[in-house]
Structure 1
């Protein structure tokens, strides 16, 4: 027995994988980018060339995929995906994928990665019009260069297409399929967007809303009687779409609205009347968006359903209330009473004495901040990568929509989803990117603010009150009418220390009774910090 066998357990690295046996079986993939190319026998030409090549090389054709028009800018192609799944399923049996040219296979930045993955399975991509020996390093490099040139060509086309589409929008011409009620016609060689039979019914819907103030459900019922069925959500979007009054709004216009050259269904006055009516509140109370009498609206959370509570006034009594709008919750409370409770809560964050205690709070807050920010740099880099990927997805989706590869419903569905993901990532990036240059000074400013907090909140305007509220309680405060109690899942860490030390100074047994918090709730915040607290004669 060889002595080296005793040392095998100390070996490093992975064992070389077994070579996959090469076979003579292949598959053929053909593709064109548009319906026009599919109609000019391009597919038949590709299939004939690939078949002749296979016969000449003595390959057995196991299957044929494609035969239709699919964009090569994405790997989300049905025939392409089916072909990749097939060769992976029969790895070791399929050795070649025959294509007319490499651009027929793929023209995006995944092509090189996918080629390498297939090569690991013993599968080579062969272009019958671009003979390359991929068994050598130089041959593989030539293949990669051809893929890169294909992607570069795509980027140039996309840049030209996007610029042309934006210019078209600025001229007042809608570049894609128009909304319901319109159709594209060509007259004297010119493309025009005109209203059709559905459009004439939609015009009536606008008038029903503007002059009769019918509800959306009543409008839908009338349209259904006339043969046009529209869901509630779509009807609402129609009434809010300025396209119907001759104005165009599009993402590529970068926040601008331009006059369109298409036929107008309703006047601008009627459109604005409709949207003015839609904004009115159908309930029997009036909402004031910035009212200092109800500063806790949308800050208070319903304890039962978890939805934000709103503020309103009962006109007969001239009294303000907070209310949950969820049916069957019945969670409401006098605004004056809850405002008084919140004012009492603010008194728990005041420091009225003991400069030594203020220094302890400062030291504790700085230590906690440094502890919490460990590892943030790695998280920040991960979020940057996620942000780059989501931007690529949005660009690819918009490009497919402009080129009419996908319909409006699919575009809006995924565009909204990607926008939400992008907003969440940017929100987290913003949190991690905030660097405190002088932490001691900022903590000192916060403590100074805490000394005057109750007075500031009572005398402040609506917006300042909201900022103070969310500064202290980032997740808001929940209210339960059944027990008449308030709770909060989170308190700003700095102000938690202030409340804790204030409790020590005053020898209170309860921390913040209005929130049901006792001494033990705050004691855990400083546990393990190992800072030395001043005795103050305790």
Structure 2
């Protein structure tokens, strides 16, 4: 029975903010100021929740897909990370979304106020992809051999990463058990137990999410690397229709890292893409570095 004035919004920002912080969506239940796992099914998955909290500033989201190159480039002026930002502008034809890349110290005193539109970044990347197109069959066969070797190394690195994540997961489970024993022995009070238990549960959920991503990306990366080579003649077409996640993966496959000098992209290409980009002059390759 609330009466709203015509100029007053019925759905305020504070209400929306409260809803987005409600852990009930994770399937948890509040009790005496703390949150506990419930038996009901979550309304949203963990990855979506973490992304929302990152956007609200409550946590750090490490693998977002809002932009494909955010966090992958460094600033040529100061060496800091280049981030991506989305800006929505209202036009006569409706809202339009723009993506820009800029240094994370963009607002620092004396720092160049330079932003690179995503459209221009795409143009420069398309030129890079055009430079690695292959035409000679003997060269393609050599490329396959080197790429297979690189994939084996990356698989070994992925196995080591998963092993470390599993170790961290086991340690967190042990900490949960010790905390429960302390509570049963009444060596910690209920509030401390609830707070610590929530913290450990959050960390364990984050580790499990990273494990899921590592398990999925292991074979996906190797498969995409092979496809990127086999389709190198049409990589530009593949890029145009790709979503942000695929673009990011392609970028990581082709480039070791990237530097942004003003609005110019300066990539360090992975072996053997570096050889392809430089016209197959083997004397310029970086040896076994990938």
Q: TM-score range by the shorter chain?
A: 0.5 to 0.7
- Structure 2 residue runs of 5 or longer lacking an equivalent are 1-7, 44-52, 57-63
2:124 counterpart of 1:341: yes
Query: Relative contact order, CA 8 A, sep 6+: which one is greater?
Result: 2
Paired residues of 1:349 and 1:502 also in contact (CA < 8 A): yes
1:240 alignment partner in structure 2: 21
In 1, the alpha carbon distance for the partners of 2:267 and 2:39 equals: 40
In 2, the alpha carbon distance for the partners of 1:298 and 1:361 equals: 29
2:249 alignment partner in structure 1: 470
Deviation for aligned residue 1:364:
1.4
Alignment of 1:75-154 (within 5 A): none
Q: 1:297 to 1:358 in 2, by over 3 A?
A: closer
**Which of the two has higher C-alpha Rg?**
1
Deviation per CA, 1:72-91: give whole Å up to 9, x if none: xxxxxxxxxxxxxxxxxxxx
1:456 alignment partner in structure 2: 238
Deviation for aligned residue 1:447:
1.7
Deviation per CA, 1:37-66: give whole Å up to 9, x if none: xxxxxxxxxxxxxxxxxxxxxxxxxxxxxx
Alignment of 1:43-442 (within 5 A): 213=12, 240-241=21-22, 248=29, 251-253=36-38, 256=41, 296=68, 298=70, 301=73, 303=75, 305-306=80-81, 308-315=83-90, 320-324=98-102, 328=107, 330-351=113-134, 353-371=135-153, 384-397=166-179, 405-408=188-191, 411-412=194-195, 415-416=198-199, 419-420=202-203, 423-424=206-207, 427=210, 431=214
Paired residues of 1:300 and 1:309 also in contact (CA < 8 A): no
Deviation for aligned residue 1:357:
0.7
2:272 alignment partner in structure 1: 497
Q: Secondary structure at the match of 1:310?
A: strand
TM-score after normalising by structure 1: 0.35
Paired residues of 2:71 and 2:81 also in contact (CA < 8 A): no
Deviation for aligned residue 1:466:
3.2
In 1, the alpha carbon distance for the partners of 2:276 and 2:234 equals: 17
Deviation for aligned residue 1:370:
3.7
Deviation for aligned residue 1:455:
1.2
In 2, the alpha carbon distance for the partners of 1:346 and 1:299 equals: 21
Q: 1:457 to 1:380 in 2, by over 3 A?
A: closer
Deviation per CA, 1:257-283: give whole Å up to 9, x if none: 69xxxxxxxxxxxxxxxxxxx9x99xx
Q: CA RMSD in A?
A: 5.2
2:4 alignment partner in structure 1: none
Q: Secondary structure at the match of 1:447?
A: helix
- Structure 1 residue runs of 5 or longer lacking an equivalent are 1-208, 217-235, 259-277, 282-288, 509-518, 530-538
Q: Secondary structure at the match of 2:119?
A: helix
Paired residues of 2:130 and 2:236 also in contact (CA < 8 A): yes
Paired residues of 1:380 and 1:433 also in contact (CA < 8 A): no
2:5 alignment partner in structure 1: none
Q: Secondary structure at the match of 1:451?
A: helix
Q: Secondary structure at the match of 1:328?
A: coil
Deviation for aligned residue 1:361:
0.9
Q: 1:349 to 1:256 in 2, by over 3 A?
A: same
Q: 1:354 to 1:298 in 2, by over 3 A?
A: same
Q: Secondary structure at the match of 1:473?
A: helix
Q: 1:344 to 1:473 in 2, by over 3 A?
A: same
TM-score after normalising by structure 2: 0.57
Paired residues of 2:84 and 2:99 also in contact (CA < 8 A): no
Paired residues of 2:131 and 2:276 also in contact (CA < 8 A): no
Paired residues of 1:301 and 1:477 also in contact (CA < 8 A): yes
Aligned residue pairs, count: 244
